[in-house]
Amino acid sequence: MASSSSLIFALTLTLWMFAGSVLAKGDVLELGDGDFDYLASEHETMLVKFYAPWCGHCKKLAPDFETAATRLKGTVPLAKVDCTANPDTCGRFGVTGYPTLKIFRNGEDSSSYDGPRTADGIVHHMKKQAGPNSLSLHSQADLEAFINHFDASVVGFFPGSEGSQLAEFLKAASMMREHFRFAHTSDLSLGAPYGVAAKGVLLFRPPRLSSKFEDSVVHFTDTISPASLRRFIRDNIFGICPHLTNENRDRMKGRDLLTVYYDLDYLRNPKGSNYWRNRAMKVASQFLSQGLSFAVANRRDFVDELEQEFGLGASDGGDLPFVTIRTARGHKYTMREEFTRDGKSLERFLDEYFAGRLKRYIKSEPIPEKNKGPVKVVVAESFEEIVNAAEKDVLIELYAPWCGHCKSLEPKYKELAEQLYDDPNIVIAKMDATANDVPEGFDIQGFPTIYFSPAGQKNQPKRYEGAREVKDFLNFLKKEALHALVVSGVREEL
């Protein structure tokens, strides 16, 4: 009997262990109400996915999350919590939708995860989250290893008596760690070669971007606070001509930017990558006071964007750089002349730009040879002539050919145009917003987007937010149009 009981116990234990190994399959930890606090507190940094098994978005994310967990193993653990089985934990952390991703530090909810939801994006984002907010340096070797990095580095030098200054520095590091790298030391001798005598903060630009045209190290001279450090980093991190990437491009928005695209690869060919950058920097240094920012970028990183915006194929232009200017207002310019090795072509391009003699680049379909239908076809090249005709009230639909809602709207929109065909004061128009540049002021939130451009007020287009039946459009136009409508040949009273 005892032998039988032992056998049953051993078999049960084996089955339990097997079940456990199945549950533990993969590198994503499974946490729940009973063990979340205990296990999460064991890890300095952890990314947790709160999900529901029936959630479609959760199912879509699962393979990328699992792949990221495998690639991050030993660096940052990834975990998941099934909220249908563990409502207490999910409720405690305010989970109201699925999937919700949160970053935990030593078991405490630190912040929401706002990075990409692809395997590559999660890995890149969480590698920056790993470790302390600011790394403590103890030797010259530590400092050199830290600043010899692909990205810029911010290092604070604080003697033992500067506790409050260090506290402010660490607070700033905590707030900005997702975007910038921070380290600190109490050994002032480490800063001596860079001119640090008592205390200070230095910004080290990446060694690969070292150039005779600018300092590789920048000194912070203000009183230390998160706001002042953020301002200092923002103003100095990029230098004269930074390397534009998909990761840092959002931080360069809101400025007029000239970008030089070419086969740039700092990992495999740093010397060749700096060849064209040095020529761009030489020219850029002459125009710094004019309010234009400069950057270089790997053409392959932006191939889809360049093709979509400028019709530039992967092999177009050969080995020579392709140069664009994008302004904060959305205007675009391209350098038509080849980029010469002496930089003179870039100088001429900039002279023309600042003199206001450059013609803007506009992506446009050809202007239709015939355009007599009730719905006028607009392209980017004819937008000014048709939509911004001062004396006309214009209703324009911005659509995408593949959009189901646009296809459903088409017969109603055509009927509206037919009813107003005899009205000389109003135009019903449409433009393919995927094949034509959309002017500033006509922001697209989805397809179709419809705007009313009123006569005499062309700088104040109004987004149409009403229902999309013919009668709804007519009621809107009766209120907004400058002149009484002529509907099917009959003038409507205002």
Residues identified as active-site: 55, 58, 403, 406
Beta bridge partners of 490: 487
3-state DSSP assignment of residue 474: helix
Q: What is the dihedral of CA 148, 150, 152, 153, to 10 degrees?
A: -40
Picking from 450, 471, 438, the residue whose alpha carbon sits closest to that of residue 406 is 450
Residue 430 burial (CB count, 10 A): 22
Measured distance CA(55)–CA(100) in Å, rounded: 11
Kindly give, in sequence order, each residue whose CB lies less than 8 Å from that of residue 327, ignoring residues fewer than 6 positions away.
256
Picking from 81, 75, 124, 123, the residue whose alpha carbon sits closest to that of residue 102 is 81
3-state DSSP assignment of residue 174: helix
User: Long-range contacts for 416-421 (Cβ within 8 Å, ≥24 apart)?
Assistant: 416/470, 416/473, 416/474, 417/373, 417/374, 417/375, 418/374, 418/488, 419/470, 419/474, 419/487, 419/488, 420/374, 420/477, 420/485, 420/486, 420/487, 421/374
Picking from 322, 255, 241, 324, the residue whose alpha carbon sits closest to that of residue 285 is 241
Instruction: Please name the residue ranges forming H helices in 159-311.
Output: 163-176, 226-236, 270-284, 303-310
What is the C-alpha radius of gyration for the chain, rounded to an integer number of angstroms? 30
DSSP 226-245: HHHHHHHHHHHSS-SS-EE-
Measured distance CA(311)–CA(261) in Å, rounded: 14
- Extract the tokens encoding 382: 């004819």
- Extract the tokens encoding 398: 């911005």
276 in Cβ contact with 339 (< 8 Å): yes
Measured distance CA(135)–CA(185) in Å, rounded: 9
Amino acid code (one letter) for 367: I
